A = this chain, B = another copy of it.
Amino acid sequence: MSQFDDETRLTALGDGAFEGLVSPDWSIGSNPNGGYLLAMAAKSIAALTPEHPDPLSITVHYLRPGLGSQPCRIHAQVLRSGRQLSTCRATLMQDDSARIEVMAAFGNLGAGAQAVIEPPAPSIPPPDECIPRSGDQQGIKLPIMDRLDIRLHPDEVQTKIGGRAQITGWIRFKDGRDPDPIAALLFADAFPPSVFGQIGAVGWVPTVELTVHLRRRPAHGWILGQFRTGDLADGRMIEDGMLWDATGRLIAQARQLALVRQPG
């Protein structure tokens, strides 16, 4: 079993309740990565809706940091199930407190549907010519970088103030597990904040809310991600991201609201 599958494993307790263990190995500093927690919640929902296994739209609000190395309890619920979609929610609790709240529409991602309009994948050097993301960010350890292989566009790896608020790069699991829609939720929240390129590294950029739209099942191989911050004001930023698979097809769009510890 892959590290990701093993470390997001849930045990069904019935009535939409699940229990699991939040691994410390997908953390940024001492906080479990938000995409990792979202993936666990998504798995609980998928277990309730076998006819609609894929998160077509999933929104998570981060109420409190997760606790690595501690058990979690998830309560998931199907609010409405129709022919095309199941609307669901889930709460991930640790230590008797809600850590994340999730609302989602699950359905079936087509395998080979033609796109009428599709954002093209950006041009980027191959993974071997990109720069591995460091496991250390401004002195903060990133245990997650022992689980994920991230290669960043060499032109964007700089933290000097005044560059573009954009980050482009490749991502895959270190242990070779193939990407899938649940993994895409993790990949949507695993790149360095794109705003670093514009205003310099600013430390912690906590996510308030993240919404991911899955668009198709990814092919085998690397995933290409591009993230941009086009809107930063009053200490809050909106970051938009897209993920493409190794064949250049769009697999997901993501948008998050995050707080920035920066005047303005």
Contact = CB atoms under 8 A, between A and B. Distances in A.
Interface string A252-264: 0101010100101
A61 B87 contact: yes
Range of interface residues on chain A?
Answer: 35 or more
Contact of A57 (B79, B87, B208): B208
B61 A103 contact: yes
A63 interface: yes
A228 to B, nearest CB: 10
Nearest to A264: B116
Interface in A214-235: 215-216, 229-235
Interface stretch (A36-44, A107-115, A128-136): A107-115
A100 to B, nearest CB: 10
A7 B99 CA distance: 36
A151 interface: no
A126 interface: no
A33 interface: no
Interface string A196-214: 0011000000001101010
Contacts of A230: 117, 119
A250 B238 CA distance: 12
Contacts of A103: 59, 61, 89, 101, 103
A97 B110 CA distance: 30
24 contacts: A57-B61, A57-B209, A59-B103, A63-B80, A63-B87, A85-B208, A89-B103, A109-B234, A110-B233, A110-B234, A113-B234, A115-B233, A116-B232, A117-B232, A117-B233, A118-B232, A209-B211, A211-B211, A211-B255, A215-B231, A215-B236, A215-B238, A231-B253, A255-B255
